[in-house]
Amino acid sequence: MTELELRKLLNRLLAEPAESEWLEFKANRFERQELGEYLSALANGASLAGKPKGYIVFGIQDETHTVVGTDFHPEKEKGSGNQELILWLKLGLQPNVGFEHFVFTVNGKRVVLFAVNAASDSPVKFYGAAYIRVGSCKVTLAKHPDKERALWQRRFDWSALVCPQATLDDLEPEAIAKARHEYAAKLSRHRTTEIASWDDVTFLNKAKLTIQGQITNSALILLGREEATSLLAPSVALLTWVLKDDANREQDYEHFAPPLLLAVDRLLAKIRNLILRAMPSGTLFPVELPQYDTWVLREALHNCIAHQDYSIGGRVNVVEFPDRLLFSNQGSFLPGTVENVILQDAPPEVYRNPFLAGAMVNLNMIDTQGGGIKRMFTKQASRFFPLPDYDLKDPNRVAVTINGRILDEQYTQLLMQRTDLPLSIVMLLDRVQKKASITRDEHRILKMKGLVEGRYPALLISGRVAAVVGDKAQHIIQRGFNQRYYLDIIRELIRLHGPVDRSEIDRLLMDKLPGVLSDRQKKTKIHNLLSVLSKSGEIVNVGSRRYSRWQNATDIGKQQKTIKQNKKQ
């Protein structure tokens, strides 16, 4: 946050009539344990009060709300065990809902502000104990079981909060007109005249963007004027497009502020959706096809907006590479795994922003039944492109990659057209195609169906599939030849040019061995082939163990016989 934004936030906090369960002012006194306990208490209090964050501000006289300044330096202080204070505080909060601290000046006086995210689902503890503010006192939460019970049951919805400073004038008229059009399309054409007769207040209430005429955070995100986004601070509602080259170097970028209902179209217009003409041969594939399906891109971006954790203060990012797009948003993936979303018949039970998601459903932006992600997968499959790749390694970020190219191995795309294979099997085959790992149990399932071959974990799509595609030659290269073929090649090389060094044998065979093997695995395979010929007595190492040099055993025998005859003469 900028200093201007921090001063605006401080002014809103100073306008509160008094300290509360989510707000604490301190003049200058600092104790590390007490600060940690306050972070716990304010996170829990903010949740119960329906606030996105709790605040503790140093440098403010609590009785008069006068800015008096502070000499508290969070970066210089230590926690227990000589740890850095900020790290010690973060380690102590469980669950770690996250907090930020800011240092700025007001009229030349130093202010330190801590903003902690509200608790969700469970109370926030500090090194094992949870706290809450009751009146002007901070106490352990265990003394108030009713409040503790409420915290266990509470799920905070930031998107449903009313922004008290916002009015209808803070909404963009063009965005409201677009919202009316989409709302009418979602409901029924027969109600178009009825919807047109509603004034803006009635329409926004009906579309679940406002609550009794009051402007919500969701309304500001989707329909708000760009200059009105400061009312959301410290939360951020921003889309960013970044263009990168093959070397991951940034070429261009642009930020898109609310109204996001209109910003989505502007951002998607930046993406270069080229027509691919160099398509694989075969009658199953069209000659020309755009890199990306526009519905898939729109769904991916709408999902980022709907599921962004706005309390963290991050942006929704769309990074464009020459052959793929990366969409990312802040916040964990609540369903746990993509498989949970795609393979279950029921819609997701939990939404991070249920009010915002509901409004986006009403505006025809997302599917309330949770079928959007599954449809993304089936659309990519029907276009013969790789399935979307979800990266969920970061617990506070969701990233999905949409590929804009067809992989060299085209067998999975053919299987996607087979009606006898469920989507769960198609997803496994897509992972095999991308050389991603699968479990041994998953391998057994594919092996039993005859869909993959090779030794686990170096798998490739079965030759049966390759035969149908018509790419038999490429499949043979990937699978490799049988052992007899390789043994005959080695025999012939040594017969004609022996003795030969191991390096010469490697050069002969490396590009003929299976494509799924690494260089190290290929060299091990060559070693094993030489061992077979050596043990059978066909070839002999006339070099050293480290620098082998191979010769035909028959030739050695002839040489030895010639030497004996020469000695007799």
How does pLDDT run across 145-170, given as a tens digit for each residue?
A: 888 887 776 666 889 888 888 999 99
Model pLDDT for residues 374-428, shown as the tens digit of each residue:
889 888 877 778 899 999 888 778 999 999 887 645 555 555 556 567 778 888 8
User: Which position has the token pair 């276009």?
Assistant: 383
Count of CB atoms within 10 A of residue 374's CB?
17
Q: Report the pLDDT value the prediction gives residue 280, as an integer from 0 to 100.
A: 47
Q: What gap in Å lies between CA 357 and CA 305, rounded to an integer?
A: 9
Instruction: List Cβ neighbours of 569 (8 Å cut-off, separation of 6 or more).
Output: none
pLDDT higher than 80, residue 88 = yes
Looking at domain 3-155, its CATH class is alpha beta
Q: What gap in Å lies between CA 11 and CA 232, rounded to an integer?
A: 14
Note the CATH number of domain 483-568.
1.10.10.10
Least confident of 1-10, 471-480, 492-501, 506-515: 471-480
Q: Report the pLDDT value the prediction gives residue 190, as an integer from 0 to 100.
A: 59
pLDDT higher than 80, residue 255 = yes
Beta bridge partners of 289: 276
Q: Kind and range of the H or E element at 138?
A: strand 137-140
Roughly what angle, to the nearest 10 degrees, separates helices 354-362 and 294-307? 150
pLDDT band at 559 (very low <50, low <70, confident <90, very high): low
Count of CB atoms within 10 A of residue 127's CB?
15
- Residue intervals in the chain for CATH 3.30.950: 3-155
Q: What gap in Å lies between CA 560 and CA 306, rounded to an integer?
A: 83
Alpha-helix residue ranges (DSSP H) falling in 50-191? 85-92, 145-153, 173-187
Least confident of 135-149, 238-252, 434-448, 451-465: 451-465
Q: Position 266: which residue type?
A: R
Beta bridge partners of 340: none
Give φ, ψ of 55 to 5 degrees: -135, 140
Least confident of 3-17, 26-40, 119-133, 286-300: 286-300
Torsion, Cα 313 13 352 40, to 10 degrees, reads: 100
Q: How does the average pLDDT of the chain come out, rounded?
A: 84
Decide: helix, strand or coil at residue 40.
Answer: helix
- Residue intervals in the chain for CATH 1.10.10.10: 483-568
> Each residue of 44-73: b (16+ CB within 10 Å) or e?
bbbbbeebbbbbbbbbbeeeebebebbebe
Q: What gap in Å lies between CA 174 and CA 151, rounded to an integer?
A: 40
The β-bridge relationship of strands 539-541 and 460-461 is: unpaired
The β-bridge relationship of strands 289-290 and 109-117 is: unpaired
**What value does the mean pLDDT take over residues 120-135?**
88
Q: What gap in Å lies between CA 211 and CA 345, rounded to an integer?
A: 32
Question: Bigger pLDDT: 506 or 484?
Answer: 506
Q: Report the pLDDT value the prediction gives residue 283, as an integer from 0 to 100.
A: 42
